[in-house]
Amino acid sequence: MIRYIQKRKHILLILLLAFGVCFSFFVHNKAEKTVETLAEGETIKWLDFNVSYEALCNAYDVDISTYKEDIHIDWVELLAYLAAKNGGELKGGMESEIEKITEQVKSGDTTIAEAAKDLKYYDYYYQAYSAVLGNYVGEYKIQTVGEDGKTVWESRYGLKVFSPIAKGFEYNDYDDFGTSRSYGYSRPHLGHDMMGQTGTPIIAIESGVVEAIGWNQYGGWRIGIRSFDNKRYYYYAHLRQNYPYAEGLEEGSVVTAGDVIGYMGHTGYSTEENVNNIKVTHLHVGIELIFDEKRREEGKEIWIDCYQLARFLYKNRSEVEKVGDTKEWKRKYEMVDTEVENYQKRE
């Protein structure tokens, strides 16, 4: 009986070792597959943005806590390092790995670049994550209420992007990226749906230029905003019937992150304008990454799963107030984004 048990243990050990080898091969092979089309000198053709809410929060906290210290740790570099080490899958908060590399960098033992020099895909993930998150954190000025109750300007460093849903307006959502859609033709859902009430103010996630506005049979009344660095295109769809947009918004308008740009509705799924053919009131928000304009023109678009980002952006919601007896809402506290100022100077 003892020999039988020992034999079973021996077989189990062999199976566990074999599983470990297979798992390591799977993780490595997955990383290979993610970047297999990216040859030297070429641009990224696709990205699976698999960064958890917890990892985003923890990397962001490191960036904020080291700002203005002797050694500042950039959260994009940190996330790229973690992705290169873990095959692009950043599940959970990665607490132990983040703490370890943070202490090593802060002590001067290494830098993120030095620690990543032997990681084959660090440059790939840094390029990819810079495209997603590159302008999300930085210096800006925003209005706040002082102790005397007066509105004052305050300089800050931190998130200068916002949740697409205004503060005080609740919503429901889940990770629905890639689910099937059948209107017009069968296709995957390349965005994120946030269910709420008709008329909920929709907020510009990032500062940028209105590149598209008007009716689309799939998205109904919709807005497309391009970031100033031209790397991100934000698509907001199914806006309210009869009153979809913030007053004065048009193609070419410059918006600041946190501005009200429109209102939630359920328009779309019709070649006829201003029709409510969507059953559930919601905002469809999509984030497209643009590495190559020519590929984009050819219809080879890169949309990312932004559910975890939407969770993360809940940290920063733009407070709004109603404009008299109108249907219009506006942000309560103005913001100065140097990206807006620099763009306007160029123009």
Of all residues in the chain, what percent carry a pLDDT higher than 90? 80
For the stretch 156-206, pLDDT in tens is 999 999 999 999 999 999 998 889 877 767 778 889 999 999 999 999 999
**What's the pLDDT band for 40 if we cut at 50, 70, 90?**
low
Taking only the tens place, the pLDDT of each residue in 148-167 is: 989 999 999 999 999 999 99
- Mean pLDDT, the chain, as a whole number? 89
Residue 62 has what pLDDT? 98
Residues 6+ apart with CB under 8 A from 263: 198, 199, 200, 201, 202, 239, 240, 243, 244, 245, 327, 329
Global confidence as pTM: 0.88
Domains along the chain?
Answer: 53-134 (no CATH), 160-346 (2.70.70.10)
Distances 83 to 52, 118, 266, 317, 326 between C-alpha atoms, Å:
11, 13, 37, 28, 48
The model's confidence at residue 147, banded by pLDDT at 50, 70 and 90, is confident
Instruction: Identify the pLDDT of residue 20.
Output: 44
d(CA 251, CA 248): 10
* N- to C-terminal Cα separation, the chain: 84
Contact 327, 215 (CB under 8 A): no
In this structure, of 3-17, 54-68, 103-117, the range with the lowest mean pLDDT score is: 3-17
The pLDDT of residue 185 is 75
CB 80 within 8 A of CB 44: no
